[in-house]
Amino acid sequence: MVSRSSALSLFAAFFLTCVSFAQVTVTTQHNDNYRTGQNTSETILTPANVNATKFGKLFSQAVDGYVYAQPLYVPGVTIPGKGVHNVVYVATEHDSVYAFDADNKTGANASPLWQVSFINPAAGINVVTSGDVSCTDLVPEIGITGTPAIDLSTKTMYFTAKTKENGRYLQRLHALDITSGAEKFGGPLVIQAQFNGNADGGTKVTFDPFREGQRTGLLVQNGLVYISWSSHCDIGPYHGWALAYDTQTLQQKGVWNATPNGGLGGFWQSGAGIAEDSRNLIYIASGNGTFDKAQGGKNYGDSIIKLGFNLAGKLVAKDYFTPHDQQFLENTDTDLGSGGVLLIPDSLGKKPLLVQVGKEGTIYLTNRNRLGKFNPNDDSQIIQNLPGAVGGMWGMPAFWNNNVYFGGVGDNLKMFSFDPVAGKLSTTPVSNTLTFFNYPGTTPSISANGVTNGIAWALQTDHNPAVLHAYDATHLSTEFYNTTQNATRDNPGNPVKFTVPTIANGKVYVPAQKQLSVYGLF
C-alpha cells in the first residue's frame, strides 16, 4: 500500500515531468540553428507584467569565471540522486561547466546540481590567461568561450575547452552527460587537424591550439557537431578552421580551412553560432584575410561561406559571397566576419535567404541558393545591400514576426521589416530604441507567444554594471523595463562583452563576470 505522503510525492514528480515536457528548451546559441534568437512559446512573460513592480531579479548564482557563452536551458532533467529539475547550464572561462536548478536557489538548490572543472593545477593543468597569448581581447582567462550545443536525443552537451598543461597548449572537444556532467563517447578528444595548403611552407597547414581561438557557438545537427576558430587579437599565423565530428563516436568527419594558401580569415562572429538550414548546409562568415577565390585561388577572407559535404564525404565550400570592397575591408581591419549569419525561416518567401552585417554596418541580404560570389564593381548581384544602415556589428541580428532586429555599435537597436512576398527588408528602420549602445552593441533576443506579446531583450555591456533592457518588439521606442529602474535589487553584475540573455519559461538568464542572474515575476 502506498502512503498518502508517497502518493503526493509521486503525483508532484509526475506533474513536474508533464509540465517540463510542455516547456521550451534552449540548447544552442540564439535559440535555434537558424540563429533567429526567437522564443515564440513564452506564455508567462508579457508586456503587461514585465515592469519594475512585477518583474526583477529573483536570485543569482556565483561561478568561477567570466561567462562569455550563452546559458542553455533544458526542462525536466533527471539528476542522479537529486530528482527532476529544470536546469540552466553555464560554461566559464575558468574551464568549468555548471548545472543549476533554473527556478530557485533554496535549500539544496543553493549549490550546483553538478559542476565539472577541466583544470588541475596540482598536475600542471591550468587555464590559459590573456597574458599567455599576449591578447586582452578575452580577459582575464581563456577557457570555454564558444556557446556549447546540446543534443537532446542523447542528453549530451558539446563544447571545447582550452588549457595549458605543463607548458603545452591544448584544446579538447568534450561531450558531457547533461544529467551528471560525466564525459561520454570516450571523450574528451584532443583537437587536431590538417588541410591541404602551402601557407605553412609545405603541402599541409596544421591546426595550432595555441594560436587558434574558439569563439563561435557550436552547432549540432544530423549526427554531427561543427566547431570553428579564429585567433586571439589577430595575432598570426592563424587560419579560419571549421571541423565536424560524429556526435556519438567523436570521430573527425570533416575539415575545412578558409585560407590554406594564405593567412587569417578567422571565424569570429563575436560568439554567434554557426548556422545550418534544413538541407544540412552550414553558413559562416570569415574575417580579414587573404581573398583570391575570384581569381581561381582557395582563400576566402571577408566572405560568407556555404559549407557542405560532397558525394565523396568531404567538407567543401559549395558557394560564397564576398563584398566588392573586400580589399578596403582587409586594409582597414573592417572584418565582414565580426557579425554572425542569420537565416530567414524557410517558410517565408519564395527563396531561402540569409542576413549578415560586419564592422562596416552594411546589411547584406542574399539568396542561400545563390550567394553571389564576388563582383568587383558593386554588390548588385545579391538581393539587397544597405550600406551604413546600422552601426557595425559585433554580434548578430534577431528575427521575429517578419521583422529583423539589429544592435550595432554606436547605434540604437533598430527594427527593419521583412516583406516575404518581395523577399526584401525595408530600406530604413521602422522602429528603434531610445537607448544608444556603444561597443560592442547588443545581440537582441525575442520572447513572444506566437505573434503576440513580443518583447525584445537586449543586454547593454558598455555600462558597468550591465543593463538588461526589455522593449516592445513591435515598437522599440517603448521600453517596458530595465535593471536601472531598481538598480540595487536588479543588478546583473559586471559586464562581459558579446553576452546574450536566455529567455525560457518565464525566466531571463543573464551571464556576467563570475555570476549568473535569474529574472522573473515576483
For residue 350, the model assigns a pLDDT of 83
Q: Which residues pair with 171 in a beta bridge?
A: 162
Q: Which residues pair with 470 in a beta bridge?
A: 457, 481
Domain segments of the chain as ranges: 25-521
- Do 158 and 146 contact (CB within 8 A), yes or no? no
Distance CA 231, CA 290 (A): 15
Which of 190, 205, 312 has its CA nearest to residue 254?
Answer: 312
Residue 295: strand, helix, or coil: helix
Q: DSSP secondary structure string, 221-265?
A: ETTEEEEEEB-STT-SS-B-EEEEEETTT--EEEEEES-TTS-B-
- Do 37 and 395 contact (CB within 8 A), yes or no? no
- Do 41 and 22 contact (CB within 8 A), yes or no? no
- Do 446 and 400 contact (CB within 8 A), yes or no? yes
Residue 5: strand, helix, or coil: helix
- The domain defined by 25-521 carries CATH number 3.50.50.60: no
Distance CA 422, CA 442 (A): 28
Q: Each residue's pLDDT tens digit in the chain (522 positions)?
A: 444 434 334 434 443 434 444 589 999 999 999 999 999 999 999 999 999 999 999 999 999 999 999 999 999 999 999 999 999 999 999 999 999 999 999 999 999 999 999 999 999 999 999 999 999 999 999 999 999 999 999 999 999 999 999 999 999 999 999 999 999 999 999 999 999 999 999 999 999 999 999 999 999 999 999 999 999 999 999 999 999 999 999 999 999 999 999 999 999 999 999 999 999 999 999 999 999 999 999 999 999 999 999 999 999 999 999 999 999 999 999 999 999 999 999 988 789 999 999 999 999 999 999 999 999 999 999 999 999 999 999 999 999 999 999 999 999 999 999 999 999 999 999 999 999 999 999 999 999 999 999 999 999 999 999 999 999 999 999 999 999 999 999 999 999 999 999 999 999 999 999 999 999 999
Which of 295, 283, 290 has its CA nearest to residue 264?
Answer: 290
Distance CA 301, CA 286 (A): 6
Beta strands at 373-374 and 315-322: parallel, antiparallel or unpaired: parallel
> pTM of whole model > 0.85?
yes
Cell of 431: 522602429
- Do 386 and 362 contact (CB within 8 A), yes or no? yes
Q: Where are the beta strands (DSSP E) in 258-361?
A: 275-276, 282-285, 304-309, 315-322, 341-343, 353-357
For residue 114, the model assigns a pLDDT of 99
Q: DSSP secondary structure string, 203-228?
A: SEEE--TTT-B--SBPEEETTEEEEE
Which of 481, 455, 480 has its CA nearest to residue 467?
Answer: 481
For residue 22, the model assigns a pLDDT of 57
For residue 240, the model assigns a pLDDT of 98
Q: Where are the beta strands (DSSP E) in 330-410?
A: 341-343, 353-357, 363-367, 373-374, 384-386, 398-400, 403-406
Distance CA 345, CA 359 (A): 24
